[in-house]
Amino acid sequence: MSPDSLADRLARVRERIANACTRAHRDPATVKLLAVTKVFGPEAILDAYALGLREFGENYVQEMERKASAVADLKDARFHLIGHLQSNKTKKAVQLFSSIDSIDSAKLANRLDSEGKPTDAMIEVKLSHEESKSGADPAGLPAIVAALRSSQHLKLTGLMTVPPWSEDAELSRPYFAHLRALAAEHGIAELSMGMSNDMEVAIEEGATWVRVGTALFGRRKKP
Ligand SMILES: *Cc1c(COP(=O)(O)O)cnc(C)c1O
């Protein structure tokens, strides 16, 4: 087996999660791994599935649509949309994804609900001031929480955030702590935070989902 096989990378990621859990006095079973397969072909999903992974993150509805037939036989695989969702793609989104983790407005929540399909839902909160990032302003959170809790078909499970990228994972900590505080305020259980570079800090701050792409699948080609 080559030292850079997916199996080896997965083992290293699991070890990082386990070590962070030890430091944080947490049970590793409380941290779920979302394998982020954006940009890679469907074989990345098939390979990861063969190694036991069942939860996958994709950023684009159209990209998932292209991969869907190749992964249709993976019956217990669940796909999460973690990229911004345009309101004209809600029908396709609920067909392709078990969980929409990037809801950023009450309007989008209502539109997704009107598609009539039981779907898990997370709210993406933008805690930085970067122009390029999507996500709801924290001030808008109560309205989105209310929309999801009064919806017929959506189940609010968690909050997600993406802090500004930095070499220094410690710089993510205040963003993760802020998300945890917001979730506690609203009685929301799941926290999707932490990526390849900062998953340990996220776990120390209470992440229940880490979204990992590069550390599992290698560098993505620049689009
Ligand atoms: C790409 C992406 C990830 C994975 O990032 P890596 O640094 O490759 O682990 C996680 N979350 C979101 C929202 C992403 O877009």
Non-local (6+) Cβ contacts of 68 within 8 A are: 96
- Answer yes or no: is pLDDT of 2 > 70: no
Token reading at 220 = 């993505």
- Tell me the CA distances in angstroms from 191 to 1, 62, 76, one per residue in order: 35, 26, 22
Ligand 1 contact, 213 CB (< 6 A): yes
On the question of pLDDT at 55 being above 70, the answer is yes
Cα 217 to ligand 1 centroid, rounded to whole Å: 11
The pLDDT confidence band at residue 3, using thresholds 50, 70 and 90, is: low
What is the tens place of the pLDDT at every residue in 71-111? 999 989 999 999 999 999 999 999 999 999 999 999 999 99
Residue 102 CA, closest ligand 1 atom number: 13
**pLDDT for 164-218, tens place per residue?**
999 999 999 999 999 999 999 999 999 999 999 999 999 999 999 999 999 999 9
199 Cβ inside 6 Å of ligand 1:
no
- Cα distance between residue 18 and residue 34, in whole Å: 15
Q: What is the pLDDT of residues 122-177, one digit of tens each?
A: 999 999 988 888 999 999 999 999 999 999 999 999 999 999 999 999 999 999 99
E strands, 70-135, in order: 78-81, 99-103, 119-124
The residue assigned the tokens 């609010």 is 156
80 lines ligand 1 (CB under 6 A): no
Examine the pLDDT at 54 and tell me if it is beyond 90.
yes
In terms of Cα–Cα distance, which of 32, 37, 31 is closest to 60?
Answer: 37
What is the distance between the alpha carbons of residues 99 and 176, in angstroms, rounded to a whole number? 21
SS3 content of the chain, % helix, strand, coil (to 5): 45, 20, 35
The Å distance, Cα 210 to ligand 1 centre, comes to 9
Is the Cβ atom of 35 under 6 angstroms away from ligand 1? no
